[in-house]
Amino acid sequence: MGRHGTIAGRKAAQDSKRAALFTKYAKAITVAAKDGGDPDYNAGLRVAIEKAKGIGMPNDNITRAIKKGTGELGGATYEELTFEGYGAGGVAMIVECLTDNTNRTTAAVRSMFDKHGGNIGTPGCVSYMFSRQGVIIIEKEDDMDEDTVMEMALEAGADDMIVNEDNFEIRTDPSVYGEVDQAIRAAGYNVVESEIEQIPSVESTPEEKDLKKLKKLFDALEDNDDVQNVHSNCSIDLEEIEL
């Protein structure tokens, strides 16, 4: 299935990590709200709220996170950290974090890479192999026409659409990602995933002996409250790897 796998697989993985996702999305909302607490005028905040609602985050939690970002409530100040390195088998990885303690987060991420056969590199060591793009995934339904979906997405500002087995994958420039996401939702399509991602220019296919190490590293990183996103150039969907 490639990097995104099937919709059923992603939903199962998201359900199992819902508590951790609440914490991550609350941080994302807080940081986005620094640019304004009204989602009608803040595309980043609007997308963060939609994602939080998509996993069932209560409205009270969302409101509290917004107020922390706008300064109406006290709370931690989060700093963005990005780590670049390699996982087992030479898979290139970018790890994006939001943290209120850089020393804690740096030590934790380094430890996870070391423990699972990877290594942290210097800034820029792998990012040249990636491009930052908005990725919006729409679930396919029987009555959906591919050309209609593509025309709508392109008119909204998207750059491309990839047709997968059970979904349409819309690609956008980050500068118009929020507007495209809003247009797709307003058109009534079922958005199952929406994210600014690091898209690899060259994918890596690790040997079977490295897959479990990679899976353990990804799981450890995603279970950490400070880690927001983990990107890689692995061509295999690690959610389908059994430990």
Please report which confidence band the pLDDT of residue 38 belongs to, taking 50, 70 and 90 as the band edges. Answer: very high
Report the pLDDT value the prediction gives residue 3, as an integer from 0 to 100. Answer: 54
pLDDT at 1 over 50: no
Last residue of a domain, one of 50, 70, 90: 70
pLDDT at 5 over 70: no
What are 163-172's pLDDT values in tens digits? 988 899 999 9
Number of compact structural domains in the chain: 3
Closest CA to 3 of 243, 242, 235, 201: 235
pLDDT for position 238: 81
Q: What is the pLDDT of residues 93-146, one digit of tens each?
A: 999 999 999 999 999 999 999 999 999 999 999 999 999 999 999 999 888 889
Residues 118, 225, single domain; the answer is yes
What CA–CA distance (Å, rounded) separates 104 from 102? 5
Full domain range(s) for residue 25:
7-70
pLDDT interval class at 29 (50, 70, 90):
very high
Cα distances (angstroms) measured from residue 45 to each of 27, 53, 126, 161: 11, 12, 28, 24
CB burial class (10 A; 0-12, 13-18, 19+) of residue 179? middle
Whether 124 and 206 map to the same domain: the answer is yes
Say which residue, 13 or 47, is predicted with more confidence: 47
Asked if the model's pLDDT at residue 7 lies above 60, the reply is no
What confidence tier does 36 reach under pLDDT thresholds 50, 70, 90?
Answer: very high
Q: What is the CATH number of the domain that holds 28?
A: 1.10.10.200
223: CATH: 3.30.70.980
Shared domain check, 153 and 42: no
Q: What pLDDT, on the 0 to 100 scale, is given for residue 62? A: 93
Question: pTM, whole model, 2 decimals?
Answer: 0.83
